[in-house]
Amino acid sequence: MQTSPTGLRVLYLITPALLLLLPTSILIVLLDRISRTAWNNSTTTTWLTSSDQLTLTIPPNSGLNATNSLLEVDVAIDRAPQWAFIGLALVAFIASILDSCAIWELRRIEGSRTTQRVWMWILFVVNFCVFGASIGLLGWASALQGAQKWSGIAAVEKAERATVETWSCMVDEYFPSEAWAKHVCGLSKATRLLLIPLALSALLVLVSAYILTRDRGSLSWLFGGKGRYAGFPDLYPMQPHQHQQQQPFLNHPYQGQGLPQGPPQGQQQYGMQPQVQRPAQTQAQAQDLPELQPQVQGVAGAGKTTFR
């Protein structure tokens, strides 16, 4: 069973949107929700201040003053990066659906040029926004993570507002007995680093959009140019192919004998001269009846006409 080249081409073009961008956006949301649930299960909420509180087991020789080797810390969470991750993932999810519809509509060149330009602009604008937002958000979240790190274990008592990733990773580093912190730290890092494949997926969709634009006449078509007329790549799209010219004419009087080399006999090249109908049947009757032959010859002679 042979596979259509056109079908494979559509599959290659739609893969970045349908099989890369869409699953990555869903995975970001899932990992963020899992890490947030694990964090909430490891903290208690203070009803008076509506803030989270951690109960940590102090390691030996830490220099911290606490009773029963337990330390209770009020935690202030900066949830701005998490909401930014969720918002970008939702935008990427919607973009992947629009990309799939656009590539499917643009798989053929035939159709309204205005409609195709609208779909093409959707591909470029939406995915450029996803690509730029992914790179910008990754840089901002990474810089925020580096700025909020603790200088030592004593900073836990004076820690300010920080992200879930910062809190969980710092607790995992300075309080090794807290096993939950390693789990939450890994999930938070994975959520942030998934912005890299998200940006690459959007970039691949932009490549697919450029390929579709090039088929229609490159960027000049995108900005209002005519592009390739009716989807034909040649200068003379209506010219028949060579194998069509060599086919014989069906039901033609010259079939099998070649085409006539000039005008038919008895016919001028630039027009038709009137011809006098000759009484052939009368001459045949005259041959059979000798007594009528002089009269027929007289009629035939009177019917001759000379054209100058």
Strand extents, DSSP E, the chain:
44-46, 51-57, 70-75
Q: How confident is the model at residue 209 (pLDDT cuts 50, 70, 90)?
A: very high
Instruction: Tell me: pLDDT of 200 over 50.
Output: yes
Out of 147-156, 182-191, 201-210, 260-269, which region has the weakest mean confidence (pLDDT)? 260-269
Q: How far apart are CA 82 and CA 141, in angstroms?
A: 9
Q: Is residue 73 within 8 Å of residue 53, measured between CB atoms?
A: yes
CB 57 within 8 A of CB 175: yes
The top-scoring range by mean pLDDT among 99-108, 120-129, 153-162 is 120-129
How large is the angle between the packed helices 280-288 and 293-302, nearest 10 degrees? 160
Per-residue pLDDT for 285 more than 90? no
Owner of token pair 């995975």: 27
With contact defined as beta carbons under 8 Å apart, do 161 and 77 qualify? yes
For residue 162, which of 33, 54, 298, 28 has the smallest C-alpha distance?
54
Is the pLDDT assigned to residue 306 strictly greater than 50?
Answer: no
What's the Cα-to-Cα distance from 288 to each of 59, 285, 291, rounded to whole Å?
141, 5, 9
Mean pLDDT of 138-167: 90
Q: How remote is the C-alpha of 157 from its chain's centroid?
A: 52
Higher pLDDT: 156 or 254? It is: 156
DSSP state of 15: H
Averaged pLDDT for residues 58-71: 73
Look at residue 249 and tell me whether its pLDDT is greater than 50.
no
pLDDT of residue 110: 75
Query: What is the model's pLDDT at position 215?
Result: 86
The segment with the largest mean pLDDT, out of 87-96, 98-107, 280-289, is 87-96
Domain locations along the chain: 23-223
**Tell me, what's the pLDDT at 181?**
94
Q: Closest Cα to residue 153, out of 134, 137, 172? A: 172
Measure CA 232 to chain center.
21
